[in-house]
Chains A and B, each alone.
Chain A
Amino acid sequence: MSAPVEGKKVAPKSAAGDVLVEKEPFLAVIIADSYNKSLQPCTLDRSREVILYCTSYPQLIRSHVEKSKWSTLMNIKVIVNEDARSVGDALRDLDDKQLISTDFVLLQGDLVANLDLKSCMEIHKTTRESDKDAILTRVMKDCPPGHRTRSPNTSSLYALNRSTNQILAHQIVLDSKKVKLPTELIREAKELELRYDLLDCHITLCAAMVPSLFTENFDYQTVDDLVHGVLGNQEILGNTMHVHVVEDGYAARVTDFFTYKAVSTDVLEKWAYPFSPDTEWSNENGISLVSFGNKYAVSSKLFSKKCNLGSNVVIGDNTAIKYGASISNSVIGNNCIIGANVSIQNCYVWDNTVIEDDCSLTNTIICEQVRLYKNTQLLATSKDTMAMQNIDFVLGKGVHLGPNVTLDQPVLLTAAAMKDDWGEPFSAYESKGESGRAFNFVQPTEESSDDEEDGDDTSAEEDDSEDDAVIPDTELFYNEVLDTLQRAEKENISADNIILDINSLKHAYNIQINEVNHMVIQAVLQRPLQDISDTATSSQLLTNLKPLLKLCIHVFKNYYRSDKSQHECLLAIKEFVCDQSHDLYTPIIGQVLMFFYQNDILDEDVIVKWYETSLQPGKFKTQVSKLVEWFNEAESDSESD
């Protein structure tokens, strides 16, 4: 491609895998013929250079790009970073690599759109010319509440300056009917427009300096964070952001099952034209419109007589539909077999599945290679209207549900048991019929989600707005950990939750992992000290300490796995006891260490090494030496045996 010319756009994006947050069992990126899951909206001949940023499934993405027809028309660079966990991380990485030098458009992989990006870019450029501080323009779709594509999980209120479309405030509104806005907003703005009818397409036209903003603020994970941050710092840095509302044209992101269903229906009804099942843009399979009412199929050779195709249906290649089946508002993939008298409403069935006779499915996503034996009923009995829009059942790849099974509560199923971090299966086995093979899917503990993120940010701001300048983050973190432990003791919270809390605090205060390790053990040791009186003895301390230690075994195991971290732990203990003069601990330190050793939290070798290298002679060392001698004896005993 020729040298960069003004107006050339670079469009990075993150792959779908890491941003789809909720409720999805392990799934492949490729979807049955419903819509274009590959690169992007049209006006492809404007966007010449594309950076494709991916975290999960890099192989699949690379091979898809190679095979795809877009690769001949555009210069696509695939960048893989397995550690990136959010859009923010991706942009930080790109900033690091210095790959972006012009204005660019930021898109995500689960976007379906038919917008003209060129005109959006023109608007962005015009805005930048008139307002030198403008750094980004968010593209929004005009979409009133109650609209099918508005997911109930993301609703935001924007306060805009009407004439320039500048964002003055932004709030995410979930369930409440009240919103708080600062009064300066109303006082200062000449024309204020409050919009609740905007749907975020997650298409952002950014100035070249936006990635550096992400690098500066390590806790920005999404563009929303950036928006909040910039709004907060408006007086200091003076950056402005704008909104471009698109009325003609279609853009929507699939962020959860709700939007999956809504976007699928939109594509079937041709709102995203030219991305509809029967145009050459989006399918290689030769799907054509079979008849009025949006029924698409590759060929109806394998459809038996008396099968009833309702409206909004796509049937893939080589799929057989037996006598008396009735299908409506659904997408069926390639190579499937739908048995006789099956009723399928509002479902999305991926490739290579078999649904035997007499089954009945509603509001379900069925992944590849699933088998439903005879007479399986999946019908949620909830009558809530919002819930009717939602997907009730998700069957992951390879699930089998046995004959004569009825599921009436929404559930997510996978084919293999979920394993936790230590490789032990922990989710319930639900056998579901004689030939069934299905396990409940439990959301693995996420370190942080967007909502919690925001919650912490705002609460931190509220609580510490005055102290912010004075108390460093580590202190706060430490105090918080102490609070957590206190709560844990009182309410008997499980170790997993403690870990969760500590991790979220880590993110909130942006603490490095080694510092966390350092502080956790210190907090644990500190905790009993808070409760005892000044005149207590060491053995009393020990009594108070022991239950807490027992409670925190898993916590320790989580943080102190490698030798290095264990060493850290010991260093921290030493620092706590010696340097911070918590002398009460000195007599009992041996027993504490013994406890750690016996519960496999600390390795013998590490302790010995620590003893030999890091300790100064003194009372503390003497105490530890007893333990070390015991180790040596034990070793020699075992040697002599």
Chain B
Amino acid sequence: MELLASQEDMSQDEALRFLRKMEQSDQLGSFEAAYQTVKYLRQKISDSQWGKAREALDLVKEQSARLLKGQRESSVGNMIRRVMKIIKDEHFSSGKEKTDERDTQESLQKLLLADDDEEEYNQPKENLKESVIDSMCELLSELETSAEIVCANSLEHIQNNEVIMTLGNSRLVEQFFKTAVNKKRKFQVIIVESFPNYRGHELAKALTEADIKTTVVSDAAVFAMMSRCNKVIIGTNSVMADGGLKASSGTHTLALAAKHYSVPLIVLAPMYKLTPQYLSSYDQDKFNQTISPHHVLPYNSGEIINRVSVSCPLYDYVPPDLVSTYATNIGGYAPPYIYRLLADLYHPDDYNLKQELNS
């Protein structure tokens, strides 16, 4: 794999900057992180010379080792998997005339056919590089338009004179509401302010500017307000492989209250948030992230901080049975069917990236 020397020198610096930016990715947001990752990988792939799929895969693996080191944002890993799937798919489909797609999934069927599972991706194929780069450009535009597509269906989810509850400040939810208002729907929104950063306040400001009647309530008031809501619409950080959610702290409580009152819970989740990892609620430590306890108990409280252990977790796990439906950029899905989307987006060998990288 040759790299043009001058290009490497120039981009080394940029690469490092990019990687440092990636480390701050929890400030960037999952969309930005995903977008930048794909852009970066696309550039790496187009800059270097390679002919076989295996070489491209190795290149991606190498880059992902750096990108994933200590990475908290799961959308980065998701995008890496997408890219690897693109490479594998292009490898199979390029040059073939067959109409039936080759199933890259493990399945009973495969077992039956006793197919070669030792695919090495080592055969050189024509035009592989071009088709991979084309697919990656498609992926980028998919990312760019994902928000729009999700919001295009807002009219189906929001009816007139409804009271909708949401939590925190998700840009997608904001856009969703604004799209509905633009199409002349009238509804009210109750926003849960969402400790620790009180991001609900920002959303409230944005919505009132769009002339939507808004009420802000504290996290503790969720149960009290739930009985008067018709729907709950929230964003999320990631969608887990079992159909559950990794969302802002407080979402699980919201979901339980919704279940209790049989209020449908709709999650807006573009597909770059879908991750093939399974994390169950009792494994909170690896899955969750804690930040400075300053928001809970200020540092200058004096001697008390010596005696009390203070913790401020950022995320919640919401099990799949509490979610009614996912509104994604490829349609609406019920939680039990999320696993099928996994098969479309990612190759099973890539589910566990860290393991693969270590091997």
Chain A residues within 8 Å of B, Cβ to Cβ:
69, 72-73, 114, 141-148, 197, 247-250, 269-274, 279-281, 286, 288-294, 311-312
State whether A271 touches B294 (Cβ < 8 A): yes
What does the 1/0 interface line of B6-18 toward A look like (CB < 8 Å)? 0000000100110
State whether A292 touches B284 (Cβ < 8 A): yes
Alpha-carbon gap, A274 to B284, bound state (A): 20
Contacts of A269 in B (CB 8 A): 293, 305, 309-310
Alpha-carbon gap, A291 to B288, bound state (A): 10
B293: which of A146, A270, A286 is its contact (CB, 8 Å)? A270
Tell me, yes or no, whether B5 is within 8 Å of chain A by CB.
Answer: no
Q: List 27 A-B contacts (CB under 8 A).
A: A69-B16, A73-B17, A73-B20, A141-B299, A143-B299, A144-B300, A144-B301, A145-B302, A146-B302, A146-B303, A147-B305, A148-B306, A247-B300, A269-B310, A270-B290, A270-B292, A270-B293, A270-B312, A271-B305, A273-B292, A280-B23, A280-B69, A286-B69, A288-B286, A290-B285, A293-B309, A294-B309
State whether B298 touches A247 (Cβ < 8 A): yes
Alpha-carbon gap, A15 to B291, bound state (A): 29
In this complex, which of A141, A289, A311 has the most chain B Cβ atoms within 10 angstroms of its Cβ? Answer: A289
B23: which of A72, A148, A248, A281 is its contact (CB, 8 Å)? A281
Tell me, yes or no, whether B311 is within 8 Å of chain A by CB.
Answer: yes
Chain B residue at smallest Cβ distance from A287: B70
Contacts of A270 in B (CB 8 A): 290-293, 311-312
A250-B294, A271-B305 given; 14 more Cβ-contact pairs under 8 Å: A69-B16, A72-B13, A72-B17, A73-B20, A114-B292, A143-B300, A148-B306, A269-B309, A271-B293, A273-B292, A280-B69, A286-B69, A292-B284, A292-B285
B16 to nearest A CB, angstroms?
5
Chain B residue at smallest Cβ distance from A197: B300
- Residues from 51 to 89 in B contacting A, C-beta threshold 8 Å: 69-71
State whether A291 touches B309 (Cβ < 8 A): no
Number of interface residues of B (CB under 8 A): 28
Contacts of A281 in B (CB 8 A): 23
Contacts of B311 in A (CB 8 A): 270, 292, 294
Contacts of A271 in B (CB 8 A): 292-294, 299, 305
In this complex, which of A148, A280, A293 has the most chain B Cβ atoms within 10 angstroms of its Cβ? Answer: A280
Contacts of B13 in A (CB 8 A): 72
State whether B294 touches A248 (Cβ < 8 A): yes
Contacts of A250 in B (CB 8 A): 292, 294, 299
In this complex, which of B299, B301, B305, B310 has the most chain A Cβ atoms within 10 angstroms of its Cβ? Answer: B299
State whether A291 touches B285 (Cβ < 8 A): yes
**10 interchain residue pairs of minimum CB distance:** A280-B70, A273-B292, A142-B300, A146-B303, A144-B302, A280-B23, A273-B291, A291-B285, A72-B16, A148-B306
Alpha-carbon gap, A294 to B313, bound state (A): 12
What does the 1/0 interface line of B305-329 toward A look like (CB < 8 Å)? 1100111100000000000000000
Alpha-carbon gap, A106 to B291, bound state (A): 28
Chain A residue at smallest Cβ distance from B12: A72
Alpha-carbon gap, A290 to B285, bound state (A): 7
Alpha-carbon gap, A463 to B317, bound state (A): 71
Contacts of A73 in B (CB 8 A): 16-17, 20
Contacts of B309 in A (CB 8 A): 269, 293-294, 311-312
Chain A residue at smallest Cβ distance from B27: A274
Contacts of B70 in A (CB 8 A): 279-280, 286
Alpha-carbon gap, A288 to B72, bound state (A): 11
Alpha-carbon gap, A427 to B96, bound state (A): 84
State whether A147 touches B300 (Cβ < 8 A): yes
Chain B residue at smallest Cβ distance from A114: B292
B305: which of A141, A148, A247, A273 is its contact (CB, 8 Å)? A148
Alpha-carbon gap, A288 to B288, bound state (A): 11
B217 to nearest A CB, angstroms?
25
Contacts of B285 in A (CB 8 A): 289-292
B191 to nearest A CB, angstroms?
24
In this complex, which of A73, A249, A271, A290 has the most chain B Cβ atoms within 10 angstroms of its Cβ? Answer: A271
Chain A residue at smallest Cβ distance from B300: A142
In the complex, the number of residue pairs spanning A and B with C-beta atoms less than 8 Å apart equals: 77
Chain B residues within 8 Å of A, Cβ to Cβ:
13, 16-17, 20, 23, 69-71, 284-286, 290-294, 298-303, 305-306, 309-312
B289 to nearest A CB, angstroms?
8
Chain B residue at smallest Cβ distance from A199: B300
Contacts of B292 in A (CB 8 A): 114, 250, 270-273
Alpha-carbon gap, A19 to B129, bound state (A): 58
Chain A residue at smallest Cβ distance from B308: A269
Contacts of A294 in B (CB 8 A): 309, 311
Chain B residue at smallest Cβ distance from A272: B292
Chain B residue at smallest Cβ distance from A292: B285
Contacts of B284 in A (CB 8 A): 292
Contacts of B310 in A (CB 8 A): 269
Contacts of B286 in A (CB 8 A): 288-289
A197 to nearest B CB, angstroms?
8
Contacts of A147 in B (CB 8 A): 300, 302-303, 305
B58 to nearest A CB, angstroms?
22
Alpha-carbon gap, A292 to B306, bound state (A): 17
Contacts of A274 in B (CB 8 A): 291
Contacts of B301 in A (CB 8 A): 144
B358 to nearest A CB, angstroms?
12
Alpha-carbon gap, A293 to B311, bound state (A): 8
B131 to nearest A CB, angstroms?
35
A143 to nearest B CB, angstroms?
6
B286 to nearest A CB, angstroms?
7
Contacts of B299 in A (CB 8 A): 141, 143, 250, 271
Alpha-carbon gap, A114 to B298, bound state (A): 15
A208 to nearest B CB, angstroms?
29
In this complex, which of A142, A269, A274, A311 has the most chain B Cβ atoms within 10 angstroms of its Cβ? Answer: A269
State whether B16 touches A148 (Cβ < 8 A): no
Alpha-carbon gap, A539 to B332, bound state (A): 113
Contacts of B71 in A (CB 8 A): 280
Contacts of A143 in B (CB 8 A): 299-300
Contacts of B302 in A (CB 8 A): 144-147
Alpha-carbon gap, A75 to B268, bound state (A): 44
Contacts of B17 in A (CB 8 A): 72-73
Chain A residue at smallest Cβ distance from B292: A273
Alpha-carbon gap, A286 to B284, bound state (A): 18
Alpha-carbon gap, A142 to B311, bound state (A): 21
Contacts of A197 in B (CB 8 A): 300
Alpha-carbon gap, A435 to B224, bound state (A): 69
B68 to nearest A CB, angstroms?
10
B79 to nearest A CB, angstroms?
18
Alpha-carbon gap, A311 to B284, bound state (A): 17
Chain A residue at smallest Cβ distance from B312: A270
Alpha-carbon gap, A498 to B238, bound state (A): 72
A151 to nearest B CB, angstroms?
14
Chain B residue at smallest Cβ distance from A146: B303
State whether A69 touches B303 (Cβ < 8 A): no
Contacts of A141 in B (CB 8 A): 299-300
Alpha-carbon gap, A72 to B16, bound state (A): 8
B3 to nearest A CB, angstroms?
19
B241 to nearest A CB, angstroms?
21
Alpha-carbon gap, A592 to B20, bound state (A): 72
Contacts of A146 in B (CB 8 A): 302-303
Contacts of B306 in A (CB 8 A): 148
B209 to nearest A CB, angstroms?
26
Alpha-carbon gap, A613 to B314, bound state (A): 83
Contacts of A114 in B (CB 8 A): 292
Contacts of A148 in B (CB 8 A): 303, 305-306
B76 to nearest A CB, angstroms?
12
Contacts of A248 in B (CB 8 A): 294
A146 to nearest B CB, angstroms?
4
Alpha-carbon gap, A183 to B17, bound state (A): 56
Alpha-carbon gap, A330 to B71, bound state (A): 26
B293 to nearest A CB, angstroms?
6
Alpha-carbon gap, A197 to B300, bound state (A): 9
Chain B residue at smallest Cβ distance from A283: B70
